[in-house]
Amino acid sequence: MKTTLDNILKNYDNSGRDALIPLLQEIQENEGFLSEKSIVMTGKKLNIPTSKIYGVATFYNQFRFEPTGKYHIQVCRGTACHVLGSATVLQELESYLKVKSGQTTRDGFFSIEVVACIGACGLAPVICINGEFYANVTADSIKTIIDTYRAKEQEL
């Protein structure tokens, strides 16, 4: 069951600024992203200016500031994937969906996240959509994959 922001914050009553990252992680786990409201409330709770929280959160790749799409695409940018062209895959994906990494398409279907290493280097370059892995993706095949999901949406 999802806990609300208030319920999460309740557990941090006596916490200091060192609790910031665990707290942000817990919020993201439950809400899917860090909203402006959650940053403001975190600031009030831990007595940290919101600018500092935003600074910390943007430093790490793991935090996002928009809700994830219905299909959340994780693009591996680890060493093996990089060597086999994941940069081009990401670039192509971003231009195909017209959003950058960390963002969500306007229709709310797709969101992109760059991850360090999925641990599936044998499948490089690899992407993962809602837990489903796609191996040896290329700039071309990524479009086909996206189109399959789009078609699935249209059927519904």
Binder of another protein out of 6, 49, 151, 154 (CB under 8 A)? 49
CA–CA distance, 78 with 81 (Å, rounded to integer): 5
Residue 36 or 147: the one with the smaller Cβ distance to another protein is 36
Instruction: Reduce the DSSP state of residue 128 to 3 states and report it.
Output: strand
What are the C-alpha distances in Å from 22 to residues 52, 63, 113, 154?
15, 12, 20, 39
Distance of CA 81 to the CA centre of its chain: 18
**Taking CB under 8 A as the rule, which mask of x and - marks residues 11-40 in contact with another protein?**
-------------------------x--xx
By CB under 8 A, how many residues form the interface with another protein? 16
User: Which listed range, 24-32, 41-49, 70-78, 91-99, lies at the site for another protein (CB under 8 A)?
Assistant: 41-49
Structure tokens at 110: 């797709």
Structure tokens at 95: 């231009």
Residue 95 or 136: the one with the smaller Cβ distance to another protein is 95
Residue 47 or 154: the one with the smaller Cβ distance to another protein is 47
What are the C-alpha distances in Å from 130 to residues 19, 74, 112, 154?
29, 8, 11, 18
115 is an interface residue for another protein by CB under 8 A: no
Site for another protein in 56-85 (CB under 8 A): 58-60, 65
Binder of another protein out of 4, 7, 11, 51 (CB under 8 A)? 51
Which residues are within 8 A (CB) of 74 and not within 5 positions of it... i.e. 6 or more apart?
113, 114, 115, 118, 127, 128, 129
Rule CB under 8 A: which residues touch another protein? Answer: 36, 39-40, 43-44, 49-55, 58-60, 65
